Amino acid sequence: MKTTFHKNLSTRREFVKQSGLLAGGLVAAPLFSNANFLNSVDDTIKIALVGCGGRGTGAAAQALSTKQNVKLVAMCDAFRDNLDRCYLSLTADDLSDVTGRPGNLKNRIDVPEGNKFTGFDGYKKAIALADVVILTTPPGFRPIHFEEAINQGKHVFMEKPVATDPVGIQKVLTSAAQAKQKKLNVVVGLQRHYQNSYRELYKRKDLIGDITSAQAWWNNDGVWVRARKAGQTEMEYQMRNWYYFVWLCGDHITEQHIHNLDVINWFKGGYPVKAQGMGGREVRKGKDHGEIFDHHYVEFQYADGSILNSQCRHIPGTMSRVDELLVGTKGRIQCGAAKIIDAKGNTQYQFEGKDNDPYQTEHDELFEAIAKGEYKFADAENGAKSTMTSILGRMATYSGQIIEWDKAINANLNIQPKEYNWNAATPTVPNADGYYPIAVPGVTKFV
């Protein structure tokens, strides 16, 4: 690994370091114009991975597959076994099934034992060793991890959602503003923004006139369950089986349906002002299904009175659809079909090209910008507001009330544990039979 550092501020490496240290206005123009850094001896972009599960492994492989001189130098996971599994996957002889290319990534990985961190505090040490941080834990931790990365002056790729409660959203918004000041690139894994077909539809959205209504779907069978094991503390159990606990996951309306809600916000150019809806648990009701619903149906209203009807369901054997539809005064955008039609159903535009892999494009574009010393990506604010859209929906379905955006986002509602350790109290606990309290519309307040 290259460790020599040039004093010359015009090298890319200095940009990577300094852009985190200097406030926006202080970064002089020449710093951004030098593209010869890749010939320098100190051009390695160091990466730290925080959250070494499925997506973390994939995101790290994508970051390491970019054209830049990148190196994974630090890893952190709450659990050592997950970190080891991720390290083994990334250092496999053949990674073609992950990267889509022959070969492996071994020469881009240099994570000595001392740079492998575990537990709840490991992220701070991992972040300190990197130029760019990949944040892929469950979303409950994103606000504190993102805050730390920005405080330490690092560029960030972070997965969606970016929080699970309004206090977390506010923290991300504050850090997003600081990232802008420091000119730190931030990409959020709402990958439809990096997908060619969506980008082409977005460019042509005016073909449908004013958007008067929209629909969004995330209906499918659901996800994994990680059953309780003997000897686990309640905290460990919830951390392992995190999808089913609202403080960690946000419920599936936040965890997955955010993708579709975000697309509608993007095309609308704004966020809903209020929401009301319904939801509950029909079939996913076991002890290991924690406290989340298995279906939500929400009517979001935007400032111009237009409505987004949103549905998400995790019930095997029912209709599957993950998609978005925008209806305008002159036609419709059918996102899944990558098509725009006029009011009579005639095709106005059809995306014909081969779609890209947006997961890879996120990293290609982020690392290219960093390597060139460019400040191009400020996704965190939208990431926070689209996450808040999904939280608004959850508040509506859990309570059965009309929930207003302004009240919700300013509610000072924090659903995280008071402290993080393996014996700490969790925000929810099971009853004597092993079942958790579930929200009851009409009874549950606000959350």
* Smaller CB separation from ligand NAD, 31 or 49: 49
Q: What is the DSSP letter of 207?
A: G
Among 40, 164, 191, 361, the residue binding ligand NAD under the rule CB under 6 A is 191
Rounded CA gap, 50 and 125, in Å? Answer: 10
Q: How far is the CB of 239 from ligand NAD (least distance, A)?
A: 6
Among the residue ranges 46-54, 228-236, 296-304, 384-392, the one whose residues contact ligand NAD (CB under 6 A): 46-54
Among 12, 71, 154, 160, the residue binding ligand NAD under the rule CB under 6 A is 160
* Smaller CB separation from ligand NAD, 14 or 251: 251
Q: Does 37 bind ligand NAD (CB under 6 A)?
A: no
Rounded CA gap, 122 and 300, in Å? Answer: 39
Distance of CA 19 to the CA centre of its chain: 23
- Pick the closest to residue 369 from 35, 27, 105, 127 (CA basis): 35
Among 48, 50, 105, 439, the residue binding ligand NAD under the rule CB under 6 A is 50
Rounded CA gap, 15 and 154, in Å? Answer: 11
Structure tokens at 204: 């042509």
Q: Phi first, then psi: give them for residue 387, nearest 5 degrees.
A: -60, -40
- Contact assessment for residue 406 and residue 271, using Cβ atoms and an 8 Å cutoff: no
* Smaller CB separation from ligand NAD, 367 or 375: 367
* Smaller CB separation from ligand NAD, 137 or 306: 137
* Smaller CB separation from ligand NAD, 118 or 212: 118
Q: How far is the CB of 123 from ligand NAD (least distance, A)?
A: 5
Q: How far is the CB of 283 from ligand NAD (least distance, A)?
A: 22
β pairing state of 339-342 and 45-50: unpaired
- Contact assessment for residue 43 and residue 37, using Cβ atoms and an 8 Å cutoff: yes
* Smaller CB separation from ligand NAD, 50 or 63: 50
Q: How far is the CB of 298 from ligand NAD (least distance, A)?
A: 19
Among 6, 17, 55, 339, the residue binding ligand NAD under the rule CB under 6 A is 55
Among the residue ranges 132-140, 177-185, 288-296, 349-357, the one whose residues contact ligand NAD (CB under 6 A): 132-140
Number of residues that bind ligand NAD (CB under 6 A): 25
Q: Phi first, then psi: give them for residue 403, nearest 5 degrees.
A: -115, 125
- Three-state SS at 114: helix
Structure tokens at 300: 């979001």
Contacts from 123-126 at CB under 8 Å and sequence distance 24+? 123/50, 123/76, 123/148, 124/148, 125/74, 125/76, 126/48, 126/49, 126/50, 126/74, 126/75, 126/76
Q: Does 78 bind ligand NAD (CB under 6 A)?
A: yes
Sign of CA dihedral 123, 124, 128, 133: positive
Q: How far is the CB of 407 from ligand NAD (least distance, A)?
A: 26
β-bridge partners, 76: 50, 117
Q: Does 79 bind ligand NAD (CB under 6 A)?
A: yes
Q: Does 328 bind ligand NAD (CB under 6 A)?
A: no
Rounded CA gap, 207 and 54, in Å? Answer: 39
Rounded CA gap, 49 and 87, in Å? Answer: 10
β pairing state of 347-350 and 339-342: antiparallel
* Smaller CB separation from ligand NAD, 11 or 241: 241
- Pick the closest to residue 348 from 360, 373, 331, 328 (CA basis): 331
* Smaller CB separation from ligand NAD, 239 or 325: 239
* Smaller CB separation from ligand NAD, 373 or 383: 383
Q: Phi first, then psi: give them for residue 30, nearest 5 degrees.
A: -55, -30
Rounded CA gap, 144 and 171, in Å? Answer: 8
Among the residue ranges 74-82, 168-176, 199-207, 380-388, the one whose residues contact ligand NAD (CB under 6 A): 74-82
Q: Does 255 bind ligand NAD (CB under 6 A)?
A: yes
Q: Does 262 bind ligand NAD (CB under 6 A)?
A: no
Q: Does 159 bind ligand NAD (CB under 6 A)?
A: yes
Task: State which of positions 89-128 bind ligand NAD (CB under 6 A).
Answer: 120, 123
From residue 209 to residue 248, the character string flagging contacts with ligand NAD as x (rule: CB under 6 A) and all else as - is ------------------------------x---------
- Bond into 358 cis (ω within 30): no
Among the residue ranges 54-62, 108-116, 369-377, 410-418, the one whose residues contact ligand NAD (CB under 6 A): 54-62
Q: How far is the CB of 112 from ligand NAD (least distance, A)?
A: 19
Query: Under the rule (CB under 6 A), what is the footprint of ligand NAD?
Result: 50-56, 76-79, 82, 120, 123, 136-139, 141, 159-160, 189, 191, 239, 255
